[in-house]
Structure 1
Amino acid sequence: MTPSNDFLDTVFHHARTANAFTNAPVAPALLRQAYDIAKMGPTSMNTQPARYVFLTTKEAKARLIPALSPGNVDKALQAPVIAIVATDTRFYEFMSIVFPHNPNATALFEGNAALASGTASRNGTLGSAYFIVAARALGLDCGPMSGFDMARVNEEFFPDGRWLANYLINLGYGDKSKLFSRSPRLTFEQATVVL
């Protein structure tokens, strides 16, 4: 089944990184809906290590602002929601739930720190990419950001060290008048090899 052109336009072709937002609020139910769609995307061994902290109040955002690069402060404050995308370093504690047909799955990761760390990093990022696609499909605009002090975010929001910050996503309804021109993308020939 081929996706409709409208869907592809919404999620990819016409979707843009939002740098400014309107003041329209984002309903908490919409965040839940985006998560419930994104969690269905495949991750290796169904590990699902992506975690999210949604900052929706001025007080919550104020805790993040000192960790942001100066160029990201205004756009973050303007966004109705800032998502801290994190990775659960002990995702494997849920393996009996998410991968029940392999009773040894937890032990596989629990006894191998390098495997657990690599799996968490790759699949946490992969899972959160599904979240961006789901949010766009539901009509939200997204502004992913990596300009922040990760250690400060971890200290402020994840002091126990179980979850670790990966990147941030500003969420809301973008102000189309403040979009930048789309930057070029690499061609198929530049980015791929077919063997």
Structure 2
Amino acid sequence: MTVPPKGHPVAPETLQDQLTLDALAADLLFREARTASEFLDDPVADEQLRAAFELAKMGPTAMNIQPLRVTWIRSAEARERLLPHMAEGNRAKTAAAPAVAVLSYDVDWHEHLPVVFPPAAGNQEMFAGNEELRAQMGRDNAHLQAGYFVLAVRAVGLAAGPMGGFDAPGVDAEFHAGTSLRALMVVNIGAPAAPRHDRLPRLDFDAATRTV
């Protein structure tokens, strides 16, 4: 394959022969996928949500700690409890989404170390005595897992609308009281309606990367 000179953007279609995924899969997960703000009225099945999670959980995390936790907002009563904690600009879209997931991280992820990463089981006591470190590692790795989650939602044929505009302490008090979970992100999920605008620009390779 001929590589164009530096500074000349490469059209994505010319890179397709570098991918193991076929063009349809690459479009579904990346090139044609959009962040959804509006959805069709099509229901989202529990099986679709489970299938998305079963994919997302396979992505790597530090020491395999897997701190991401998902609270599915499925009942009308739970939705009504969530809405007051959403930022005003996100409230209507969350009210209308077919499914909503609250993504959180578990500060007590270290309790699972003997199962998920036996070689580090001996460090469990050290982590137990350092909540600040656990919170940092949990949040960092749950953010990583949130990216996998968005792609997994796309892989089951749905669209995701991840949002950080909400009152996290309020959501924790509402849904996570008495637990070690801390809310990280709210994701609206469903079959997407037609987008209202074109995709916003992405930085090209030369603008976003460097070789040393």
Give the TM-score category using the shorter length: over 0.9
Report the identity percentage: 38
What is residue 172 of structure 1 aligned with on the other side? Answer: 190
Aligned pair count? 194
In structure 2, the residue matched to 1:189 is 206
Residue 114 of structure 1 deviates from its aligned partner by 3.0
Partner of 2:142: 124
Give the letter aligned to residue 107 of structure 2. T
* Paired residue secondary structure (1:97): helix
In the alignment, is the contact (CA less than 8 A) between 1:20 and 1:179 conserved in 2?
no
Aligned partners of 2:43, 2:32: CA distance in 1, in Å?
22
User: Does the residue aligned with 1:83 lie in a helix, a strand or coil?
Assistant: strand
Unaligned runs of 5+ residues in structure 1 are none
Distance in 2 (alpha carbons) for counterparts of 1:94 and 1:179: 44
| Deviation for aligned residue 1:161 | 4.7
SS in 2 for 1:101: helix
Q: TM-score, normalised by structure 2?
A: 0.87
Alignment RMSD, CA only? 1.4
- 2:29 alignment partner AA: V
Q: Residue in 1 aligned with 2:120?
A: 102
Residue 154 (structure 2) pairs with residue 136 (structure 1): yes
Query: 1:183 is aligned with what amino acid?
Result: L
Q: Which runs of 4+ in 1 moved over 3 A?
A: none
Q: Is the 1:47–1:95 Cα contact (8 Å) retained in structure 2?
A: yes
Tell which structure's C-alpha radius of gyration is larger. Answer: 2
Alpha-carbon contact 2:44-2:98 (below 8 Å) kept = yes
Give the alignment partner of residue 37 of structure 1, picking from 55, 76, 95.
55
2:78: which partner in 1?
Answer: 60
Q: Residues 4 and 77 (structure 1 numbering): CA distance in 2 closer, same or farther, change over 3 Å?
A: same
**What is the alpha-carbon distance in structure 2 between the residues aligned to residue 123 and residue 98 of structure 1?**
14
Match of 1:6 among 24, 27, 32: 24
